[in-house]
Amino acid sequence: MSIDKNIIASENESLHLQHKKKLDFLQSEIENTQTIIDKLAAFQIGIPSWALGAGGTRFGRFSFGGAPRNIEEKIEDVGLLHLLNKNSGSISLHIPWDIPDDYQKIKALAAEHQLKFDAVNSNTFQDQPGQEFSYKFGSLQHVDAAVRKQAIDHNIEVIKHGVALGSKALTVWLADGSCFPGQLNFRRAYQNTLDSLEQIYAALPEDWKVFIEYKAYEPNFYSTTVADWGQSFSYVNKLGNKAYTLVDLGHHLPNANIEQIVALLLMEGKLGGFHFNDSKYGDDDLTAGSIKPYQLFLIFKELVEGMDARGMNHATDLGWMIDASHNVKDPLEDLLQSVEAIMLAYAQALLVDRKALEEAQQTNDTAKSQEILQAAFRTDLRPLLAEARLQSGGALNPLGLYRKLNIRKKLIDKRGADSIATGL
């Protein structure tokens, strides 16, 4: 399933006049739009392989048809997204759901779609068929050393898959924790986890990073062994220079100030990457920007300012990934919406008048600070996103074109209405 570049070009042609008018207006209002456009064009967001199939809840899943049946079709799907928006240039694989049979073939396929392999993800929260020990009571935290070894070995194997594909990072999300008071000794769970992580860390290639994700709750409902940024931070400090904290927007207690956490982790040199999504209640895994777009902007404001303060490259020095789950939308449409919302927040953050903000902060001019932030947020920057896509060879209106070309229908025709993505 691919789209002829001529089709994109001709569709862009038909929309160009309208786009040009909006862009011209914006360029007459904002200085140096090309600087922003270049940064937008360079920014790439990793698509997780598991977001391409039907998500769901413990109460059920609802399929949508045409789901990718294997890693090749997952790569094709991400390739399609990237062709349309030019900001989805990498895929984040999940092991064991996406183990390639032939690395070279898979690498070639990815290259064909101009895709890189983002962080690889291990899975020690489910039992796989034929697995010797169960993770029912945890993995890296487990009271039994044999279970821990199995989980450690799995992570090391994931690294090997990643090396073969050209990944440069391992993401460790642990469901480890407990459901009832008394189930765990918290200190022992911490120590076991740390010991296990140290063994995984020792297996990291020189140029790799390991991202330690935290999550407040779910699937464990009393305690989680890496429950908050402070706990992840304490692990990554002990592990060493290659260890970083990964922030998933849905993994916090109610009302947490995520942008402050991001700012402090960046300050400490320990922010590794992001899992974007949105949520109203818990880890709802909704489309990025669909519930709290202002929060997304505030987070990007910290990212841009904090990365610049450390001389970091926005596009490459942090791992940018989506982690969402789609129950009531076509997942490809959902991902196009997520990428658009993330890019918009990034563009707004780039527009913030930082010199004026700095001045307002130094004089405690709170009303002014708010005016400065909201001026950026309220400006309609969609034309800059479109222009960045256009300059990169993507579509002016990715979702519009996706629908116009009936791509979901074509995928269903090809893959069937009942196809199921591996791992789901």
Q: Taking contact as CB under 8 A, which single stretch among the options 89-97, 107-115, 159-167, 376-384 is the one that binds a second copy?
A: 376-384
Q: Is 409 in the site for a second copy (CB under 8 A)?
A: no
Q: Is 257 in the site for a second copy (CB under 8 A)?
A: yes
Please, which residue, 155 or 223, has the CB nearer to a second copy?
223
Residues in the interface with a second copy (CB under 8 A) total: 107
Q: Is 255 in the site for a second copy (CB under 8 A)?
A: yes
Q: Is 129 in the site for a second copy (CB under 8 A)?
A: no
Q: Is 223 in the site for a second copy (CB under 8 A)?
A: yes
Please, which residue, 110 or 336, has the CB nearer to a second copy?
336
* Crossing angle for the helix pair 382-392 and 33-42, to the nearest 10 degrees: 60
Residues 137-176 that bind a second copy (CB under 8 A): 137, 143, 175
Of 259, 322, 396, 415, the one binding a second copy by CB under 8 A? 259
Residue 24 Cβ, how far from a second copy at the closest point, in Å? Answer: 9
Q: Is 337 in the site for a second copy (CB under 8 A)?
A: yes
Q: Is 404 in the site for a second copy (CB under 8 A)?
A: no
Residues 202-221 that bind a second copy (CB under 8 A): 216-219, 221
Q: Is 133 in the site for a second copy (CB under 8 A)?
A: no
- The CA R_g of the chain, rounded to the nearest whole Å, is 22
Residue 107 Cβ, how far from a second copy at the closest point, in Å? Answer: 30
Beta bridge partners of 48: 92
Residues 268-327 that bind a second copy (CB under 8 A): 268, 279-282, 284, 286-287, 289-294, 298, 301-302, 306, 309, 327
Of 6, 241, 313, 364, the one binding a second copy by CB under 8 A? 364
Q: Is 50 in the site for a second copy (CB under 8 A)?
A: no
Q: Is 27 in the site for a second copy (CB under 8 A)?
A: no
Please, which residue, 115 or 213, has the CB nearer to a second copy?
213
CA distances from 126 to 180, 217, 294, 410, 419 (A): 19, 16, 35, 33, 22
Of 32, 131, 185, 406, the one binding a second copy by CB under 8 A? 185
Please, which residue, 43 or 135, has the CB nearer to a second copy?
135
HSE (side-chain half, CA atoms, 13 Å) at 229: 24
Of 14, 35, 260, 406, the one binding a second copy by CB under 8 A? 260
Please, which residue, 230 or 416, has the CB nearer to a second copy?
230
Draw the binding track, 107-126, toward a second copy (x: CB under 8 A; -: no contact).
------------------xx
Please, which residue, 110 or 357, has the CB nearer to a second copy?
357
Please, which residue, 26 or 115, has the CB nearer to a second copy?
26
Q: Is 179 in the site for a second copy (CB under 8 A)?
A: yes
Of 13, 34, 38, 62, the one binding a second copy by CB under 8 A? 62
Please, which residue, 165 or 184, has the CB nearer to a second copy?
184
3-state SS of the chain is CCCCHHHHHHHHHHHHHHHHHHHHHHHHHCCCHHHHHHHHHHCCCEEEHHHHCCCCECCECCCCCCCCCCHHHHHHHHHHHHHHHCCCCEEECECCCCCCCCHHHHHHHHHHCCCEECCEECCCCCCCCCCCCCCCCCCCCCCCHHHHHHHHHHHHHHHHHHHHHCCCEEEECCCCEECCCCCCCHHHHHHHHHHHHHHHHHCCCCCCEEEEECCCCCCCCCEECCCCHHHHHHHHHHHCCCEEEEEECCCCCCCCCHHHHHHHHHHCCCEEEEEECECCCCCCCECCCCCCHHHHHHHHHHHHHHHHHCCCCCCCCCEEEECCCCCCCCHHHHHHHHHHHHHHHHHHHHHCCHHHHHHHHHCCCHHHHHHHHHHHHHCCCHHHHHHHHHHHCCCCCHHHHHHHCCHHHHHHHHHCCCCCCCCC
Q: Is 256 in the site for a second copy (CB under 8 A)?
A: yes
Draw the binding track, 65-104, toward a second copy (x: CB under 8 A; -: no contact).
----------------------------------------
Contact 323, 277 (CB under 8 A): yes
Please identify which residue in the block is written with the tokens 């050209």.
Answer: 166
CA distances from 227 to 259, 325, 397, 415 (A): 17, 21, 39, 39
Q: Is 357 in the site for a second copy (CB under 8 A)?
A: yes
